[in-house]
Amino acid sequence: MHLNAIDLVAVHAQQTGATLHITLNRPEARNAMSLQMVDELRRLLAAAEASAGTPEAVRVVVLRGAGGHFCAGADLKDMAGARMQLMQKAKDDPADPIAQANAAFGQLCAAYSSTPLAVVVVLEGTVMGGGFGLACVADVAIATDTASFRLPETGLGVVPAQIAPFLVERLGYSHAKRLAVTGGRLNASAALHVGLVHMVVSTAGVPEVLDQVLADILACAPGALSATKALIAKARLCAPSDLIDEAAAVFSAAAQGSEGIEGMTAFMQKRKPQWAQT
């Protein structure tokens, strides 16, 4: 599916070169995540991934929110609707609409976590619940000094179910437990301290910092970046010694491939490689 063929209501998307900028676009609700937003975000990512190898290929996805906030978590109207469906469904219908809605968000996080594309988030204002989860799965997280992070689920009598695995992966077991049992309130400085975000800048400083991050990413070969992300994902679950042979095979394939040859040739000729020309 081509990016331009996707009907968008809850988000806005614009491609600039090899970068797809996606803006959560429900500012009246501090960009609370509706099921429609989840669906649109997944379809945009799928289309971006499918563009590989074309002249319009997307190499980086940037996520941010409209109206000075990133995301206020799940849309409670959607949850209420799911409860209503649960009350009205036939007794012989095994489907649980609440579980289905929750799983849809988990699938969204998993998709953005495992994508071969680079993912950058710009975090401003409210970053709660599902927004917190998206922050955790990004490759690069830039926060402004206005950002306020919170895991409100346990205070509402529910569980940060789909966020929990990514919270542990990003912050480690100790910090994840602490945030989960305290309702997880962090300002931008504290988020930087625990490793949730990678840099904190002023709102006015975002364009310059984002441009530099994108330039650094686009200087990397897209295939090598994808293979590196996949290898790092495996490395977090394996002992280093268990990956020696696989890592050697990945390196050899890259070195003998078109990107490896172009990269080393460009280095010897003291020029930028072809993928960094755009």
Does the predicted TM-score (pTM) go above 0.85? yes
CA 193, CA 143: separation in Å to the nearest integer? 12
Tokens of 50: 């499918």
pLDDT number for residue 4: 74
- Flag whether pLDDT at 78 surpasses 90: no
Tabulate helix, strand, coil % of the chain (nearest 5): 55, 15, 30
Nearest Cα neighbor of 52 from 266, 272, 259 is 259
Q: Which domains does the chain have, with CATH numbers?
A: 3-216 (3.90.226.10), 221-276 (1.10.12)
Bridge partners (DSSP) listed for residue 17: none
Average pLDDT of every residue of the chain: 92
Give the model's confidence band at 126: pLDDT under 50 very low, under 70 low, under 90 confident, else very high.
Answer: very high
| DSSP string over 124-187 | -SEEETHHHHHHHH-SEEEEETT-EEE--GGGGT---TTTHHHHHHHH-HHHHHHHHHHT-EEE
**Span 9-26, average pLDDT:** 96
